[in-house]
Amino acid sequence: MICGFCGFEFDESEGKKGCGGCHGGCHSVHCPRCNYKNPLESGVVKKLKTIFGKNGKNKGDNK
Amino acid sequence: MATCCSKQTELAVSGNAKKVALVGNPNVGKSVLFNALTGAYVTVSNYPGTSVEVSRGNAVIDGQQWEVIDTPGMYSIHTITEEERVAREILLHETPDVVLHVLDARNLERMLAMTIQLIEAGLPVILVVNIMDEAERMGLSIDLNRLQQKLGIPVIGAATARKRGIDEIRSAMNSYRCSCEQQRFEYSRLLERDINEVTCLMQGEYILSHRALALLLLQQDEEIVELVRQRETVGYAPLAEKVREIAFDRRESFHLDLSLERNEMVRQIITGVFSAPEKRVVTAAERLSRLAVQPLTGVPMLLLVLYFGLYQFVGVFGAGTVVDFLEGKLFEELFNPWIIGVVKNLVPWEIIQELFVGEYGIITLGIRYAVGIILPIVATFFIFFSFLEDTGYFPRLALLVDRIFKHFGLTGRAVIPMVLGFGCDTMATMVTRTLETTRERVIATILLSLTIPCSAQLGVIMSLLSKFPGALAVWGGCLLLLFIVVGLLSARILPGAAPMFYMELPPMRLPQLGNVVTKTYTRMQWYFMEILPLFVLASVLLWLGKITGFFPKMITAMTPVMASIGLPKETAVAFIFGFFRRDYGAAGLYELQTKGLMDARQLTVAAVTLTLFIPCIAQFLIMKKERGWKVAGAIGMFVSLLAFGSGYVLNKALLVTGLLS
């Protein structure tokens, strides 16, 4: 994911989670560089992306 | 020269799954590509014997199984840092079938040197020229076909953050075949002679080519020296002697010579491949970025953003039009009368009817507040917030306010909790821990709990006050004045110096609809799921307070306080609500106004006092967690006294001046 504040690219697993501040569990990933709180994609969004195959139909600069 | 073909056949891992390793400089999009290739099932573990984390995942491409390894960032195969060592270890010991070298198209010249090293090492390289979209925006042109011919390996242009080129990378991985005629990059005659003298003495089998190893030996790479010593056994002594001899002869400038020669090679490769406009193209985004950070243009731009984004969109549209429709029409005229009838028919006991559909009923108050008032305001706020976030405006805002914040003992970095505070002050209080010094954290916590209203509170207040000319300006002026005065005083009272602030600015860009919708939806979903149970709980507590007579007594006890700031006693309800949650209090204020209980002066005084008023329970508890009881208690006390003190002074000032009458 890309941090919404500093633009740093990181994997969800690299970010800090679970500081315990939010009621009802943690739904954010804090950027490892600037600590900005980025929202975690909800299950519904992930499912929708899978259904519509967002990653599957992308064209690039073909060789 | 040895090629990758034989070695890959010989050393490839058993089984059907192939391996691909992603290598490249840090921050070139490797992780994004890794995620695009692997999906959700990923393991992250420390590389054996190190503290460096390596991500591994699986992918199936047209029936072919792949193990995908995301290596730590590296600048060269001659390693310096532990991360680079781990990345090279993976190349040396995990024998990937394909190495995807990901580089940044904007820094092609600087990063191609590593591509040359990887090809020279005989690795099965596919080059991914990433971030092509930004490069194109800068007017840079890269002839990928020509680059492919010159390098002799597959080259793919991509913009992985925008999912461009992913299919081509997948396809290139599956169709990759090692070329037995790999490109050879020639050094100067002198260096070629040295390389040749070393390689002639090497007999062992290695993953990396003899040529690459010879160069690493001449660079005194300790791990490679050890590897070669183990493999060459008896033949190692003359080899080591030759390396020592050459290294001694070229002791003054070997690294520099090698680096210069590689730079020259890169220059030759990119000739006719890469072109940049003579006069660097300043894109509209770059122009906008410059305007956003310069005070003369940045401040008016900020005011425009606040006016159109916060005032017009969140205040007038969200808290006005949408709330009027949802709360006024849908709940008050349609849903509430219907549900009251249903509950009264079903439940014969008045006390239980009160719990669900009474004055403070779970449905008629809790759910109505949450769905009818807070939800539309928070939704419009999060749309505005996510839109702005996706443009890359926030880091510019941090730079813009850095100079001002210095006077308050803060730096531009404090923009992060301040901006997040408009979403929810509780979570923003926690984010103050990212500020460098305790002094900064305490000042930011004070300013957050005092002058930063949460989105729902802000929306309601803007919507209510905009109906009275001048009221919004008085409210905004009071908050700004207090923000400045308290900030300046805190910086004087709390000892210490403000640290330096610098940050790399990410590019400004047009926000992507998908990103804005996803982020808004995600934020709203969690926000709503968090507030709904609390609103229901607050309704139950208020109902309990009412039936036990405690709540009316509390309102009576607060009447003199309300009277001292010129407010009717009913306003105490909003303040009690506000202590549960700020947004709940704001909704209470909305209700009081719609009942016509307050004039412009009273509404403005109530809005200022309620905005400044003691933070809600959740924020107070987080303050205690972050700063301890003493500091949290002192801040809570200070904020409450200042809130009512300011309300008192403002009320008197408005009465004396006749403003807003």
pLDDT digits (tens, 9 = 90+) for B396-425: 999 999 888 988 888 888 888 888 888 777
**How much is the CA Rg of chain B, to the nearest whole Å?**
33
Which residue type, as a one-letter code, is found at position B178? C
User: Which chain A positions have a beta carbon within 8 Å of B518's beta carbon?
Assistant: 41, 45
Q: Could you tell me if B305 and B414 lie in one domain?
A: yes
Q: Is residue B622 part of a domain?
A: yes
How does DSSP classify residue B51? S
Which range is least confidently modeled, B251-265, B314-328, B576-590? B576-590
Which range is least confidently modeled, B151-165, B191-205, B502-516? B502-516
Nearest residue in B to A26, CA atom: B526
Average pLDDT (B313-325) is 89
Q: Is residue B284 part of a domain?
A: no
Average pLDDT (A18-41) is 72
Among B78, B93, B92, B82, smallest CA distance to B220 is for B78
Token output for B406 = 């210095």
Residue A58: what pLDDT?
39
Q: What string of DSSP letters covers B383-431?
A: HHHHHHHHHTHHHHHHHHHHHHHHTTT--GGGHHHHHHHHH-HHHHHHH
User: Residue B90: which CATH number?
Assistant: 3.40.50.300
Average pLDDT (B198-210) is 87
Among B180, B217, B150, smallest CA distance to B7 is for B180
Taking the CB of residue B25, how many other CB atoms lie within 10 A of it?
Answer: 18
pLDDT confidence tier of residue B113, bands split at 50, 70 and 90 = very high
A–B: how many Cβ contacts below 8 A?
137
Q: Could you tell me if B534 and B631 lie in one domain?
A: yes
Average pLDDT (B327-341) is 91
User: Which chain B positions have a beta carbon within 8 Å of A29's beta carbon?
Assistant: none
CB proximity A53 to B under 8 Å? no
CB proximity A13 to B under 8 Å? yes
Q: Is residue A2 part of a domain?
A: no
Q: Could you report how far apart the first and last alpha carbons of chain B are, in Å?
A: 91
Q: Is residue B653 part of a domain?
A: yes
Residue B72: what pLDDT?
84
Query: How far is Cα B432 from Cα B635, in angstroms, rounded to an integer?
Result: 15
Q: What percent of chain B has pLDDT over 90?
A: 30
Q: Could you tell me if B363 and B335 lie in one domain?
A: yes
Q: Is residue B471 part of a domain?
A: yes
Q: Is residue A39 part of a domain?
A: yes
Q: How many CA atoms lie within 13 A of B184 on its CB side?
A: 12
Residue A23: what pLDDT?
57
- Find out whether B247 and B206 touch, Cβ atoms under 8 Å: no
Q: Is residue A61 part of a domain?
A: no
CB proximity A18 to B under 8 Å? no
Dihedrals phi, psi of A40, to nearest 5 degrees: -80, 140
- Find out whether B343 and B353 touch, Cβ atoms under 8 Å: yes
How does DSSP classify residue B454? -
CB proximity A39 to B under 8 Å? yes
Q: Could you tell me if B152 and B217 lie in one domain?
A: no
Is pLDDT of B181 > 60? yes
Q: Could you tell me if B142 and B208 lie in one domain?
A: no
Query: B36, A4: Cβ pair inside 8 Å?
Result: no
Last residue in a domain, options B275, B307, B335:
B275
Q: Is residue B7 part of a domain?
A: no
Nearest CB partner across the interface for B165, out of A4, A57, A61: A61
Q: Could you tell me if B384 and B329 lie in one domain?
A: yes
- Find out whether B607 and B446 touch, Cβ atoms under 8 Å: no
Q: Is residue A60 part of a domain?
A: no
User: Which chain B positions have a beta carbon within 8 Å of A21's beta carbon?
Assistant: 426-427, 430, 622, 625
Q: Is residue A63 part of a domain?
A: no
Last residue in a domain, options B275, B298, B331:
B275
pLDDT digits (tens, 9 = 90+) for B259-286: 889 999 999 999 989 988 877 777 788 8
Place of tokens 């089984």: B15
Domain enclosing residue A33, as ranges: 12-51
Which range is least confidently modeled, A37-51, B330-344, B440-454? A37-51
Residue A53: what pLDDT?
55
pLDDT confidence tier of residue B12, bands split at 50, 70 and 90 = very low
CB proximity A9 to B under 8 Å? yes
Structural domains counted in chain A: 1
User: Which chain A positions have a beta carbon within 8 Å of B39's beta carbon?
Assistant: 55
CB proximity A51 to B under 8 Å? no
Residue B601: what pLDDT?
92
- Find out whether A9 and B24 touch, Cβ atoms under 8 Å: no
Nearest chain B CA: its distance from A47 CA (Å) = 11
Residue A15: what pLDDT?
66
User: Which H, E and C letters describe B511-570, residue by residue?
Assistant: CCHHHHHHHHHHHHHHHHHHHHHHHHHHHHHHHHHHHHCHHHHHHHHHHHHHHHCCCCCC
Dihedrals phi, psi of B103, to nearest 5 degrees: -135, 165
Nearest residue in A to B127, CA atom: A63
Structural domains counted in chain B: 3
B651 vs B276, higher pLDDT = B651
**B interface mutation test: which of A5, A29, A34, A45 has the most B CBs within 10 A?**
A5
Q: Could you tell me if B161 and B230 lie in one domain?
A: no
Q: At CA B120, angle to CA B188 and CA B149, rounded to 5?
A: 90
Query: How far is Cα B386 from Cα B390, in angstroms, rounded to an integer?
Result: 6
- Find out whether B159 and B132 touch, Cβ atoms under 8 Å: yes
Place of tokens 């995620």: B35
Token output for B129 = 């020229």
Q: Is residue B282 part of a domain?
A: no
Q: Could you tell me if B301 and B202 lie in one domain?
A: no
**B interface mutation test: which of A8, A14, A45, A58 has the most B CBs within 10 A?**
A58
Q: Is residue B130 part of a domain?
A: yes
- Find out whether B281 and B139 touch, Cβ atoms under 8 Å: yes
Q: What string of DSSP letters covers B126-151?
A: EEEEE-HHHHHHTT-EE-HHHHHHHH
User: Which chain A positions have a beta carbon within 8 Å of B431's beta carbon?
Assistant: 30, 35-37
Is pLDDT of B171 > 90? yes
Query: A60, B167: Cβ pair inside 8 Å?
Result: yes
Domain enclosing residue B229, as ranges: 189-275
Q: Is residue A43 part of a domain?
A: yes
Is pLDDT of A52 > 70? no
Among B604, B539, B537, B615, smallest CA distance to B575 is for B615
Measured CA distances, B395 to B289, B415, B572 (Å): 10, 8, 40
Last residue in a domain, options B174, B198, B213:
B174
- Find out whether B53 and B45 touch, Cβ atoms under 8 Å: yes
Q: Is residue A36 part of a domain?
A: yes
Q: Could you tell me if B327 and B428 lie in one domain?
A: yes
Q: Could you tell me if B134 and B244 lie in one domain?
A: no
Average pLDDT (B203-208) is 86
Nearest residue in B to A7, CA atom: B506
Q: Is residue B8 part of a domain?
A: no
Which range is least confidently modeled, A59-63, B157-161, B394-398? A59-63
Q: How far is CA B591 from the centre of its chain?
A: 36
Q: Could you tell me if B57 and B120 lie in one domain?
A: yes
- Find out whether B213 and B92 touch, Cβ atoms under 8 Å: no
Average pLDDT (B431-443) is 82
Among B355, B351, B617, B327, smallest CA distance to B464 is for B327
Average pLDDT (B313-342) is 90
Residue B655: what pLDDT?
92
**If you average pLDDT over each of B182-186, B204-208, B276-280, B582-586, which comes out highest?**
B204-208
E strand or H helix that includes residue B603: helix B600-612
Q: What percent of chain B has pLDDT over 70?
A: 94
pLDDT confidence tier of residue B636, bands split at 50, 70 and 90 = confident
**A interface mutation test: which of B28, B61, B167 has the most A CBs within 10 A?**
B167
Nearest chain B CA: its distance from A7 CA (Å) = 5
Q: What is the mean pLDDT of chain B?
A: 85
Nearest chain B CA: its distance from A28 CA (Å) = 9
Is pLDDT of B6 > 60? no
Q: Could you tell me if B29 and B113 lie in one domain?
A: yes
User: Which chain A positions have a beta carbon within 8 Å of B523's beta carbon?
Assistant: 39
Average pLDDT (B525-533) is 78
